[in-house]
Structures are given as C-alpha cells and as structure tokens.
Structure 1
C-alpha cells in the first residue's frame, strides 16, 4: 500500500460518518495490542483552545527532554500534521504500513470510522517509536471520543461554548457533561475559563470520580500580556514568561498547559522552570492568528464558532491601536452546520469589508447562501467562487497597511495555506 492509497482508504471510511461510542475503538485497540498502555498520556478537551493548549504542553515537555507524541485534528494541508513526535510529522511510509495493519485487523466486524482509525494509528505509532508521553487532543466532545480509551496522568478542559450541538447537546451544561467524560477516577483535571452551569457540571463529575479539580482563577492564575506574563499555581511561581502564539486568549491556554504539567508532576513527569520558558517561546501552532505575510498583513485564524469569533475580534481591534485608519478585510467561509450570524456578530463592528467564499467540501455553505443570510449585518462585501479567487480579491482591495484575515473554517484555511505554499492539499475531513 502506498501513502496515497492509505490516505484514500482512510477517507473512504467517512461513509461510516461520526459514530459516538467507545466499543469500536476498544476492539481496535485490543487487536493492536493496546498501544495506549505503553506511554504516559495527557488528555485535553474543550470547545476552543484545546489544540493550542496541547501544542504548548507538548512543546514544554519536549524542552524538558522528553520524547513527545502529539495527536491533534483536523489537519490543515497534510494529513500527517495530525500525528507528530517532537514536532516531526509521521513519515508517509508509516502511514501506509499502519493503515494496512489497522484495516487488516478490522476484519469487517468493527467498521471503524475515519477518526477511530487515525486515533489507532497515532497510538500504535507512538508506542512503536517509544515516546515517553503523548499529548492527545479530543476530536469531538470527550465522553465518547475515540481518544477516551486512554488512562491519562492528568487531563484538562479548556473552555465550554456552543458548538457541535447536534452531537453534544444544545446547552452549555449538556456540552460540559460530554467534555467532562474524559475525567477519570482520581486523575487530576485542569479547568480553564469556565463558569456557571457548565463549571458546576464539571465539578459534579470530578467529585463523583474523586478527581482533584483545579480551575483557572481559583487554584492557578496568569497575569500580564503575551510578551510578558506571570503564572501562579500550586507548584510554580513564574515571572517574565512569554509565548509565541498571538492573541490575549492564549494566556488562558498557557495557564492550562502549565497547570496540567503541574498536576502531572506526581505521575512521573518532571519539568523545570527553564523548560516551561523555552517551550512557550518555541511553540508553533498553525492556523491560529498565524501571520503569513506582512505587507499587507495576512492572517489565518481557525475560529469557527461565536466564542472563537469573539477572541478574533478582540485581537483584530488591537491591530488598530497604532493604526486607527487600518482597514480589516475578512475572507470568510463556513460550514453549513455552523452558527453563521452568531459567528459574525462580534466581528461586525471591527471588519470593514468581507469577501465571502467557500471551501471545496460538500459541507461548505455557498458564498451566495452566506451572503443572503448575513446581508443585513455585513459591511461592504463581495462574493468569490473559491479560496484562490477570494485571496486574490482581498489582496486587490487591501493597501499596504491593511489587514486580511482568512477565517470561519479550518478547511478554508487549509486550502489557502496549500495555495500560498504552492503544494498539493491532502483530503480534508468532510
């Protein structure tokens, strides 16, 4: 099986759709020799921020000298982005070998989904390459997510907001219950900026499972700016920290990452203050306020729900502090099942022009439909048939001091990144 054959085989599994439950994943793991038992795990859930927190956690552990597996989703350009060891993507040959092995072990009685197979691949690869620790980002929810077969040293829940309601429920409390499903008996759990009914739900689950709960603002705290901040927790008191990831919201994610490592220190992970500093200064996480070009400034941000849009709007507003006449041009494409009006609400007072477009996926909302739905709240706007035309149009509209921001869908970001790199795009999860 070649790499191309393997990726095509994996994506054919999308016919199974999203199927909640751990039975298939447990059976698949059993046939693969339970690779998740061969290394320590840190498990991270949350509506927003879980990927950034996972990347920071992995970067700090790598700086501490560990061999670190990182599993995230979705990818932007290359399927192999999902599975990394110390920042290096899984080789194409390993994808091909492991896909053949997993599909051979399936024997047609399990019928795993795409995500279950990629999760099994990551766990087996990490075990084969003898990682010391793996940082696993939850794919969807938590309770029934394929990653939830692991027994972590510690876990974290970064944020709770409305998203994926068709699978997780239509209230914050219901969504919190699903994400709290990663909490294991007597395993520490870190909670980010979560309040009200959502926090109470997580607190109830933690108490029921006798899991020590530490929450941002009560048990650990962070103050300052991205360039210079301080952390106060149960173990460390750190001053003069900085992080490469842009946006004020990344401070909360950094706090969760540090607290997660504090909580896991009694479980066999030893991290120095120097490693925390170096890891935060070296972390990379594509597609999150990622600067691609400077004149004009071209940003890619994967926000796709109202909470993410709020964080993006706050950041875009800061770009006008020293340049009050700077125009913000948004390239916007979204999936049909997302809250389009809720997403644009925090952005409408910040953005000067919107180029509406769509990613090349069946789930994408057409630019025309987005325009009809948002017409009453959009500033000046234009339609573009696809990502290539949309970026070209935004560049024609922008002056050297303006900002172009591509957002609304990680799938759209992947297309734009592939376009700008001049490379082929791996299939994206539909």
Structure 2
C-alpha cells in the first residue's frame, strides 16, 4: 500500500551521508528535492472532502478519471511515451495485502534464473512502495536498492526534464525549476523507476501498484509492456478512493488486467462476489484469468524462506505462476506449481523484504523485526521466533499498532507464543511506543499515547509479571530496550512487531547512515 513518504533526516545529516560529489547535485540534495514534492497523503486526502453539492460541476469520480491522462502527461514531459515502456516486460502486481511479498518472490526467482542461464547478464528491475528507511528501497536492480550516486543522478535527470518541459510551456524559470511543475511523490518515483530501468538496459521488471489498479500511476503500461498480472489478497482499504466493499475494491485492483495477457489470482470459493467481479473484469479487459486453487497450493506446500508465515505459500504460488508466464516456461495450469524448475524454487527461497523476518545485531541486542499487523502474519512471527527462544529465556517486546485494535493483535501474539512454547512468560519486558521517531521538542504538543496505554493495560492483565512501559517515540523506545538489555547482561533478544511503521522507525534509529 502506498502512503505518504516518511520523514527524512535533517539537511545537515543528509549532507554528511551523501556519496555524490557534484556541488548542488549530491544525494542529500536529491532527497531535499523529493521532500518538496506533494506527498501522496495530501493527494489521497482530496477524496476525504464532503460530497460536492448537486450542480457544482465537481464530482469525486473526476479525480480518478483524470489520473491516467495526468500520468501520461507527466510521462511525456519526462521524455517518454507508453511505447517506450514496451521495451521492457512487466509483471504487474495489485492487491490489498501480499503485493510486496509477491514482488519480492518474483524478483528473487527472475534474478536467480538469469544468473544461472546463458543470459546471465540480464538484469531485473523492481519498483515497490512504500519504503521503510530510504526511498532507494523502492527502485532496485537484481534485488539491490540503487546506489546513492545513481539514485541522485536519476532524480536530477528527471527533475531537469520536467523543468525544461515547463519552460517550453511558458512557465517562468523560477516556477519551472520548483516543485509546482512536478507530479506528486508517487508519480515522480514511478517515472524515476522507468527512467532508471530504461537508461540501464533493464528488460525484466516487477512493478507494484501504489493504490488500486485501474487509476494507479503504474497502470499507464500498455498491454504490450505486460507479461503477466497478479491480484493478491483483497481487503478493505482506501475506502474514499476505491469504495466501501471488497467487491468495489476488487474492481479497481483488476484494472491491471490487460488484453491478451494472463492474470493470476487465488480462487476464493467462499467469496463469490469478489470472484464474480474479477471474472467480469477479465472478460471486459480481454484478459485470461487464471484462478489458483487452494488445494493445489496445499498439495505443493511452498518453499521455506526468510519471509515467514503459512499464508506466504499462496503469495509464492501467484509469483511462481506469473514468473513462469513471464519467462515462457508454460505448462498445463495444474502442473505450474508441481513441475516448477529447481532454479526457480531456489530463487523463491532467497526472497527477502526489509522489516519482514529481519535480524539485526547491535551491541548487546539481537533485534528481530517483522511488521506483522494481522492475525495470520502474527502467527508467522510466533512460529519464527519460537525457533529462536531457548528454554526459560525472557525476551523484550517493542510493539505498536495504530490502525487496528492494538489489544486484539497483542493478545494474538501472546496466545501464539504460548501455543508454541507452552508458557506465557516469554516477554519479561514490553515497550509500547508510538511510531514517531523523535520526542516532541519543548513547546510542541506531546504525542498521544492512548493507544499505547491500552496495549499496556492489556499486557498487564495477560502477563502480570511482565514489566510494561509506554513511550511516545521510537528513539526512546530503542534506548530503553538497549538499557534493559545491558542491565540483564549478555546478548538479549528484542522482538519489534505489530506495525511496519514501527519497524521502519526502529531501523532508521538502528541504521541512521546505512540506508539514507
């Protein structure tokens, strides 16, 4: 899911981290340029306005309808046409949940396949969102974020092209060089990704929708540029933009279906409304919808890897089928999983995502980070962590969840750990933090910690012997966890979970310079 771009380091700290040496064109300068762009949150908030009065001439549907023509205009201003995008072949991924995992799996499989074949020089581009620590995470080649110098150069190349287009349209020099002549953040990064891939000869691309599909910035891709589409798990999200039912949201997600191309999704036998929408949209678009059956996935079983959770085998299955379609390794649909080449399965087991099943060693602490934020993913975290816990060992928990019921998710974690380890005292200390990185300055309003207090109360009831803290910023939460670990002695284990925003904040505190 696309969200507003996270806060960046201060200009002074960014300059210290820069690796580009051209005066005024450093990596730090590139980050400053990006920070000037309208955030995606500001754009999505346009849909939160009260309904327009009858006869006003303003309909919120117009905001969606204008999206693709606007994006095509920005693409042309940057010097590209939709036909230029046909020089690449894209696996286009939409969905409410699981998009990132499908993209990570597809990237790993394609990268491993090319490295083991005669075209070992072929490269795989990936465009995903949002990022946890650095915007460079969004644009990767062969699974690696762009280096700072390449990212910075690309930002200024696209920025200059858009500025020049504005000057040709008669815009004053000052306005043309500024953010007013640029698209909002997600659109700019989308164009930036294509610019990088085309400039560097990338031909295989895995691309994730930001929000929806039909009107998403990535959906200017013509059918000739798409090898396969995927609609991952669906749910309620971005109601103002996409609708208030899963069926309405499914309509938007299926917008990535393309004429003459295959689209892969999980067959939901218990949700005929969703499947009816997806099938109707496939017929409307002239696409072939391939419905992956749960029994086939269960029989196949998936591949164990760093991205944990029993649900991941469904994301793996969608990725495998899309990659086989992309590579032309076709077979009968029922055999696509069963007869998958070994080299592709090896890649599947190598897929990684920052903040998902990630371990970071730091001084007296081994940090276990996973942005699990629903019951299924929390179950996966518990299975992963239970393998790491020694008999009688006590862990430190850092937890938050701002968008869902924090107490319900916390109880899910406690019960899941108890089911696997046979005891409820796994966490000796629990720190409930907001997602804000820094403590509020003097004179600023302190962060609301009512959610954290609710979680703390739940923890005291469920685990009376656990020492509980509420903290209003991530920086202090990390410092407190380190202090507790030091006092206990030895290498202590800390689980950070419940929210991708929290995990991203902790990573930024732990690695202030490494992924700017």
Q: What is aligned with 1:383? A: 470
Return the alpha-carbon distance in structure 1 between the equivalents of residues 391 and 280 of structure 2. 47
Tell me how far 1:12 sits from its aligned partner. 1.7
- In the alignment, is residue 131 of structure 1 matched against residue 202 of structure 2? yes
Say if 1:36 and 1:124, in contact at 8 Å, map to a contact too: no
In structure 1, what is the Cα distance between the partners aligned to 2:397 and 2:379?
11
**1:260 positional shift:** 0.7
The residue aligned with 1:286 is 354
CA–CA distance in 2 between the matches of 1:324 and 1:313? 20
| CA shift in 2, pair 1:367/1:299, >3 Å | farther
Contact 2:126 2:205 in 1 (8 A): yes
Match of 2:379 among 305, 313, 316: 313
* 1:146 Cα deviation from its structure 2 partner: 0.9
Tell me what 1:28 maps to: 74
Deviation for aligned residue 1:189: 0.8
Listed as ranges, the gaps of 5+ residues in structure 1 are 231-240
Distance 2:163 2:496 in 1: 37
Deviation of 1:183 after TM superposition, in Å, equals 1.4
Describe the SS at the equivalent of 2:282: helix
Q: Which one has the bigger helix percentage?
A: 2
List gaps (5 residues or longer) in structure 2: 1-23, 45-63, 115-121, 170-175, 331-338, 418-426, 441-445, 461-465
Q: Which residue of structure 1 lines up, in the alignment, with residue 345 of structure 2?
A: 277
Cα distance, 1:57 vs structure 2? 0.7
- 1:96 aligned onto 2:156: yes
Which position in structure 1 is the counterpart of 2:111?
62
| RMSD value, Cα | 3.4
Shift of 1:416: 1.5
How far apart are residue 59 of structure 1 and its match?
1.5
Q: How many pairs does the alignment contain?
A: 405
Instruction: Check whether the contact 2:137–2:145 (CA below 8 A) recurs between aligned residues.
Output: yes
Displacement after TM superposition at 1:15 (Å): 5.4
- The Cα shift of 1:124 comes to 1.4
The Cα shift of 1:123 comes to 0.9
Report the CA distance shift for 1:376/1:192 in structure 2 as closer, same or farther (over 3 A): farther
Structure 1 SS opposite 2:280: helix
TM-score normalised to structure 2 length = 0.69
Residues 1:48 and 2:114 are matched in the alignment: no
TM-score (norm 1): 0.81
User: SS at 1:264's partner residue?
Assistant: helix
Range that drifts further, 102-111 or 211-220? 102-111
Query: In 2, Cα distance between the equivalents of 1:170 and 1:402?
Result: 44
Give the aligned partner of residue 60 of structure 2: none
- Do residues 421 (structure 1) and 511 (structure 2) align? yes
Asked if structure 2 preserves the Cα contact closer than 8 Å seen for 1:55 and 1:283, the reply is yes
Farther-moved stretch of structure 1 (248-257 vs 189-198): 189-198
Alignment equivalent of 1:155, drawn from 216, 222, 229: 229
Return the alpha-carbon distance in structure 2 between the equivalents of residues 9 and 146 of structure 1: 20
What SS does the corresponding residue of 2:234 show, helix, strand or coil? coil
Q: For the residues of structure 2 that align with 1:313 and 1:324, how far apart are their CA atoms?
A: 20
* Rg larger for: 2
Q: Does structure 2 conserve the Cα–Cα contact (< 8 Å) formed by 1:25 and 1:116?
A: yes
Checking the alignment, whether the CA contact within 8 Å between 2:456 and 2:470 is kept in structure 1 is no
